[in-house]
């Protein structure tokens, strides 16, 4: 599953990919990047926050939380990148 976050102006800000086949539903990502990830009805992670505020400080916080969530996923199911750049992992 690939989804994106957008600025409040509607411009794509980040592309977030979750390998839902690998996801084991540990909920680690949601505990780290609160408000970005949650478990869906299928017990797999999903992105719940699709609109990021146009605020650099908040953006940096979200970016760090995404890095930490991706690094903490026990099955490395999360990758993300700023729109237009190579993948972070
Ligand atoms: S941390 Fe990884 S395995 Fe755990 S719910 Fe998130 S994507 Fe799934």
User: pLDDT by residue (tens digit) across 5-36?
Assistant: 666 566 677 888 999 999 999 999 999 998 88
Q: Pocket of ligand 1, candidates 30, 31, 43, 45: which has the most ligand atoms within 8 Å of its Cβ, to mutate?
A: 45
Residue 69, in any domain of the structure = yes
What's the number of domains the chain is made of?
Answer: 1
Distance of CA 50 to the CA centre of its chain: 9
- Coil, strand or helix: which one is 2? strand
Residue 11, in any domain of the structure = yes
Residue 73, in any domain of the structure = yes
Q: How confident is the model at residue 51 (pLDDT cuts 50, 70, 90)?
A: low
Instruction: Write down the pLDDT at residue 11.
Output: 66
Residue 88, in any domain of the structure = no
Residue 43, sorted as left (phi over 0), alpha (psi -120 to 50) or beta, turns out to be left
Residue 89, in any domain of the structure = no
* Residue entry with tokens 């680690």: 28
For ligand 1, residues with CB inside 6 Å are 18, 23-29, 37, 45, 73-75, 77-78
24 neighbors 75 (Cβ within 8 angstroms): yes
């Amino acid at each position: 599953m690939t989804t994106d976050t957008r600025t409040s102006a509607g411009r794509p800000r980040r592309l977030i990919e979750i390998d839902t086949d690998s996801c084991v539903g540990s909920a680690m990502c949601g505990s780290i990047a609160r408000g970005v990830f949650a478990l869906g009805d299928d017990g797999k992670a999903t992105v719940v926050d699709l609109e990021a505020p146009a605020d650099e400080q908040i953006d940096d916080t979200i970016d760090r939380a995404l890095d930490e969530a991706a690094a903490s996923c026990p099955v490395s199911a999360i990758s993300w990148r700023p729109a237009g750049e190579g993948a972070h992992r």
